[in-house]
Amino acid sequence: MSTAVAQRYARALAEAAGPAADFRRIAEDLESLAATYRGSAELRDVFESPAVSVQQKAKILEAILNRLGVIDLTRRFARVLLAHYRMGLLEEIRAAFQRIVNDRLGIVQMKVVSAAPLSEDAQAALEARFAELTRKKVDAEYQVDPSLLGGIMAQIKSTIYDGTVRGYLNRLREQLRA
């Protein structure tokens, strides 16, 4: 339920921004606001507490928005979230908005897991290959998992490309069984 609500708010923000908006800036503003919210248990307690008036919460929110230097659209959107008691969904809204931004800008996010850190040349070659495959710009996140024997595993949305030694051995075992 909360994911659907977060997606509706993210879509509404994208629509309010319009086609010529600076989506990257809005996404950065949302990330800054979400990081501030995520980073302070006291702040979350204040926004979730019914004992704190909406006016007091609004003053706190304004101080945060001023400190972060967000653009007017993000400022108005944060006020809407506060007025509708949706500040707790900020992280989910940020993630949903980022997916919308990536889709509009032709960017695909890829998660890469390898047994050892990849060199910059290997990362660039991998990103170029997946950009060719997806016909989109690739935004890659790299992680190291020493439990892998070798190779890499890449994930784009729900599709997993398993180029690990373990994956190869599993496929070979299945072929031998068939």
Per residue of the chain (178 residues), give pLDDT as tens: 678 999 999 999 999 988 777 888 999 999 999 999 999 999 999 999 999 999 999 999 999 999 999 999 999 999 999 999 999 999 999 999 999 888 888 899 999 999 889 999 999 999 999 999 999 999 999 999 988 888 899 999 889 998 888 888 888 888 889 8
The Cα 34–Cα 75 span in angstroms is 13
- CATH among 1.10.3720.10, 1.10.520.20, 3.40.50.720, 1.10.760.10 for 2-103: 1.10.520.20
Q: Which two tokens stand for residue 99?
A: 């997916």
pTM score, whole prediction: 0.74
Domain extent listing, the chain = 2-103, 108-177
